[in-house]
Amino acid sequence: MTATSSATGRRPWVRVPASAARPPPPPRLPDPPIYRALMRTWADRGRTLPGRHDPEWTRLAAPPAGTGRGTVGQDPFSATRDPRGDGR
């Protein structure tokens, strides 16, 4: 048995710095001209663009107004957790 091995034959943990654990990302290549032209056309027409904030999607994905989200007992889409008169 050597100083670096144990009775079970396992090797000790070796800590590797986080910077050495993963390789750097590959360099980002510029978009092809046809893609840049398509993005420019979509932007001119007011369409949603990949990788950009979309206020319409934020509005559509938000909970309906007046649902009382975050308040107990005011959500019109669910019952209360402890209905009165149920014998509990």
Span 43-82, pLDDT tens digits: 899 888 888 888 888 888 888 876 555 555 555 555 566 6
Entry pTM: 0.35
CA distance 56 to 75: 24
CA distance 20 to 14: 13
DSSP class of residue 8? T
CA distance 76 to 81: 13
Which pLDDT score is estimated for 33? Answer: 92
CA distance 33 to 53: 23
